[in-house]
Structure 1
């Protein structure tokens, strides 16, 4: 393998240890090798940083195994050119001897420029990703808001002082979570400011609104040149079925796991778009069946209905608002 880097390192990252292999020397000669093992504690990762820096490494590569690589990446990214390798791809590169350690093999491939980098967004996008994923976990919407009368009736019970205290604790915790979500949403808005043009573009897609746009940008970033093209992006997201075909027989079309957060928001947007398309199709059916043109019903379409107020209250509450109805007639 022809060398292109004089000083580089390969890392084999595990849960508790990191095995590092440094290769150095002139490009037209066999490189010298140094191997050392570090712990994955903060102290160990800082020692790894100093060790690589002392060997004057310019490039460092590691496998994208689980989540163990992330703390190592965060420590090293300011000083070194980092490359995240797909574990399956580098193991399939021919020429590896069975007795070569993983760290040494990664270093050899890196030295020869044979590692295709996996996508790792810049730090500001990763920060936004942490927030959008946290928001999705905490911001759970249920149908309980439609059952307020039943809940009030269930709570109309003789309770001891202990039960009232427990309800108070739950209420305090709910208030705390709501305040935390406000902080998260505010920080997401701040991080989105440099990408408002992209947000507006994404919002033009049926089924995609601001929250979905934030998740999409947090997962794939704003620079599409990192993926090379549509097929690569689809494969990275786990939206590209496999094509395992031999002798004219299709053996498997299993979809890769890909990015779960990205797939989830895209599927939600797709369902919303399908719902809109279904509504349009119903309109088309009615128009062609009854031979009538489409027309806007107008804002007062439901005013003649006895349930119009309840209808609009439900529509407004579905958007996350609380409605308080008061009569404007003089008492």
Structure 2
């Protein structure tokens, strides 16, 4: 039986879908209205952490969110704002690349704060590893941002255990989160735990020990792509057997298919926090039970979902 939970957010709303088109075309008042509807649906569903990145919609996702904050007195104090930097989109003849130079980090944060119309980010994540980055240089930039009160906490995204440890060795401030693609569809992080000493291990590709490193060091795991683009919850093309199983579990437990897919992540002992990327208010509200209730999946139900999604028995 599920029970209400009164702890910190168990879900984050990913804001990549806000702000209109994926180009530099200015956003419109209808884009602001759509962003406000998504924010209100999240708040109604018990979600108060909002995940951004400086590149989302070429900055427009942050900008429309800033407009929503300007419309809503007191809203900023009720929510947690998280953003990311470190990816630079292609521009002219320059390809898209990664940039974690100290000066770039500081500039991107200042620009995000301006777009979001706030003085402080609650969390800043480094979006992708930059092979040219000097970890001491990165650490100096993050420490300076914290000292100025521009960012309260820091984390990373898409990094392995060794990369996290190398950066942390140069910092006194703790890295508090690592955001990875994790879902019932993208399971390399989980397969890594059971493919040891099998022929499939080398092909899995997930950096061994990353989940365990985060667990051992109190680093929150955030799962982007958590709803798997609707593959199990009504997308036009989806794995029918697993989608049917998800629907049956949802009906039996009096909840939604979205909740079952998110409960599957939350049931893992790593305390995974799913990031839901939809901007559709109806679909956001379909995740309410996943945000507010203890995951109601038994040991056998959890494994049955996993084995169904992988399409073959465990080794």
Which of structures 1 and 2 has the larger relative contact order (alpha carbons within 8 angstroms, sep 6+)? Answer: 2
- Provide the TM-score with structure 2 as the length reference: 0.24
Q: Normalising by structure 1, report the TM-score.
A: 0.23
